[in-house]
Amino acid sequence: MCTTVCAAVIDPGAGTLRYSSAGHMPAYLANSSGAGVALTGGRGLPLATIERGTRPEAVVELPPGATLLLFTDGLVERREESIDIGFAQVAELLAEAGVATPGEAADLVLTRLRPAAGYDDDVAMLVYRQPPAPLRIETPATAGKLSPIRHELSGWLTRAAVSPQLIRDIIAATNEACTNVVEHAYLHHPRSDITLDAVASLGQIIVTVSDTGSWRPVPADPGDRGRGLAMMRALASGVEIADGDDGSSVSMLFALRLVRFPDRQ
């Protein structure tokens, strides 16, 4: 007799969401550290009810690291219970989604909202994560700072919706670059600091580790050491090294891999 639908167009570069809802459940949007907020603009009647011509639209900003959730009514509707309870639970759960991948966020919402007897209606859900703001870490180049760097970068990569396997590769390659700075960059320089910059965009992550020291060429026979650069090149899609009077840097590009799911009958 009729159909509800929510249609949305995301512009990741501009950080905007344009949407229109035909009698559908409201989408929810949460910034990287806050609860979800219902998107109640651009609303109209369900399809196939009354012919109305142009559909209303609304535009909202997508902050860096924001999480967008669209879902069907099976997620929140319960017999003999106000649907507002389900909406409130969705908003609350999205406050935890900023530190999880989109897949983990979907699992979190489905698990926490699941009735004791299970869902009695089909549930469809879509989760989108806007790339987070660029990360910059500036710290003394000492061995004791390597673990905090890995921890902070790992959290940022999770917020960027990077898969766990790729996070491990990025952390391993970045740790090699940072270790090189700690061990080699300041042998003949008084200053001792390290800067890490990470940028997320559609399809790739770029991590740059820089210092104000000097780059030491890899010896012809490195022996049991000197394998860090080879590891970086094996783990990253591309590696660029810059060496100048002001210091040196290594930039590593990591292509984001498509997550494929098996076909379901």
How confident is the model over 68-81, as pLDDT tens digits? 999 999 999 988 88
Task: Tell me how far apart the alpha carbons of residues 222 and 232 are, in angstroms, rounded to a whole number.
Answer: 16
DSSP helix/strand/coil, 258: coil
Element (H, E) at 206: strand 204-211
Q: Which of 200, 205, 202 is nearest to 253 (CA)?
A: 205
What are the residue ranges of CATH 3.60.40.10 in the chain? 5-129
DSSP string, 91-142: HHHGGGGGGS-HHHHHHHHHHHH--TT--SS---EEEEEPPPPPEEEEEE--
Superfamily of domain 5-129 in the CATH hierarchy: PPM-type phosphatase domain (3.60.40.10)
pLDDT at residue 56 in the model? 93
46-95, pLDDT tens digit by residue? 988 876 678 899 999 999 989 999 999 999 998 888 999 999 999 999 88
Ranges in the chain annotated CATH 3.30.565.10: 135-255
- The strand pairing partners of 254, in sequence order, are 205
Statement: residue 263 has pLDDT above 70: no
Cα 77 off chain centre by: 29
pLDDT for 1 equals: 77
Secondary structure element (H or E) that encloses residue 152, with its range? helix 146-159
Reported as a single tens digit per residue, the pLDDT across 7-41 is: 999 998 899 999 999 999 999 999 877 788 999 99
pLDDT band at 161 (very low <50, low <70, confident <90, very high): confident
Q: How far apart (Å, rounded) are the C-alpha atoms in residues 45 and 21?
A: 8
> Which among 135, 126, 128 has a CA at the least distance from the CA of 157?
135
Q: Does domain 135-255 have CATH number 3.30.420.40?
A: no
pLDDT above 50: residue 265: no
